[in-house]
């Protein structure tokens, strides 16, 4: 996932926004600074924008966001005097979140430097993440996701900004598939491929990640450092240790064929079972 130098949204995120599939909670992982501020404005505008493609920069919502005056955008400011974000701050957001939007169709709450939440505040936030009121979007910023409780982390869509690049965090379903491939166990393969292909549009994206992860495993086998990080390091390494290079190539071809069939409206249950059995077959032969 990349932010162009001009600050446009990553293509995949833009596509999701265009379809109205906007994550309820996003963590923008980046050091404080101008690039992050620009990304926050872009994302916020894309959420409330009524034009196309989002953010159109021309509709009244976009213009108000870029001017910093949109009434449905609330910012918990980064107050340097306040070292810790406390539970009361989060409770205030929670009670505000149930108030309807004024002008836009949804409301955006921006929580800057969210790593300053103490544990109590994070647990309060978790309740909001678990049952988000309709039309409420949370945009968190932090230098690193490391400061968040795993339960909170798992409910945030991650966007990492480094320089002008944003990298999507690995999806745990791809990790699970890789781990199943490394085990070669039929049930694990059936279960993880079913999870991967449960949703057609998302399945196509996850298969793309799986393919990138296979490429990473192939690179790892050759001792190359040039990797895309489409899956977690542990899962990728476990697979790389288990498979031959020829198997990686066959698995990659299998992922391609599965994506082609998924795109051609194949029955997802049949397809995921077929994928699992073919993968097991590949893994059973050198
Ligand atoms: Zn707009």
Instruction: Compute the chain's Rg from CA coordinates.
Output: 21
CATH number at 172-284: 1.20.272.10
Q: Distance between CA atoms of 122 and 146, rounded to whole angstroms?
A: 13
Rounded to 5°, angle at Cα 269 from 264 and 271:
45
Write out the two tokens for 110: 């921006």
Instruction: Say how many Å lie between the CA of residue 65 and the centre of ligand 1.
Output: 9
Residue 40 CA to ligand 1 centre (angstroms): 15
Cα-to-centroid distance, 170 and ligand 1 (Å) = 30
**Cα(34) to centroid of ligand 1, in Å?**
21
How many angstroms does the Cα of residue 138 sit away from the middle of ligand 1? 19
In tens digits, the chain (286 residues) has pLDDT values of 333 333 445 555 656 665 556 788 999 888 887 778 888 998 899 899 998 778 888 999 999 998 889 999 998 865 666 678 889 889 988 888 888 888 888 899 999 989 989 999 999 999 999 888 888 999 999 988 888 999 999 888 888 775 444 445 678 899 999 999 999 999 999 999 999 999 888 898 889 889 989 988 988 888 876 566 678 888 888 999 999 999 999 999 999 999 999 988 899 999 999 999 999 999 998 7
Q: Cα of 76 to ligand 1 centre, how many Å?
A: 23
CATH number of 11-168: 3.40.50.300
- List 141's β-bridge partners, or say none: 28
Domain boundaries, the chain: 11-168, 172-284
The span from the CA of 55 to the CA of 18, in Å, is 9
Q: How far is ligand 1, taken at its centre, from the CA of residue 52, in Å? A: 7
């Amino acid at each position: 996932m990349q932010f162009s130098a001009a600050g446009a949204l990553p293509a995949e995120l833009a596509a999701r926004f265009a379809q109205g599939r906007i994550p309820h909670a996003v963590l923008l992982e980046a050091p404080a600074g101008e690039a992050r501020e620009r990304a926050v404005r872009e994302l916020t505008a894309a959420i409330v924008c009524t034009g196309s493609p989002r953010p159109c920069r021309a509709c009244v919502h976009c213009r108000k966001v870029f001017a910093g005056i949109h009434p449905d955008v609330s910012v918990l400011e980064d107050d340097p005097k306040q070292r810790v974000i406390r539970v009361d701050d989060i409770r205030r957001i929670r009670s505000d979140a149930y108030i309807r939007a004024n002008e836009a169709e949804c409301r955006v709450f921006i929580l800057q430097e969210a790593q300053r939440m103490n544990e109590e505040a994070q647990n309060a936030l978790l309740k909001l993440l678990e049952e988000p009121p309709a039309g409420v979007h949370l945009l968190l910023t932090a230098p690193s996701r490391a400061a968040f409780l795993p339960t909170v982390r798992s409910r945030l869509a991650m966007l990492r900004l480094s320089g002008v690049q944003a990298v999507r965090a690995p999806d745990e379903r791809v990790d699970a598939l890789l781990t199943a491939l490394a085990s070669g166990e039929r049930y694990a393969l059936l279960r993880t491929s079913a999870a991967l292909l449960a949703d057609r549009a998302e399945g196509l994206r996850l298969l793309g990640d799986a393919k990138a992860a296979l490429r990473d495993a192939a690179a790892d086998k050759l001792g190359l450092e040039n990797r895309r990080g489409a899956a977690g390091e542990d899962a990728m390494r476990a697979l790389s240790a288990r498979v031959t290079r020829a198997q990686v190539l066959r698995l990659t071809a299998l992922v391609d064929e599965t994506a082609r069939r998924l795109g051609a409206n194949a029955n997802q249950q049949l397809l995921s079972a077929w994928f699992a059995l073919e993968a097991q077959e590949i893994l059973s032969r050198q």
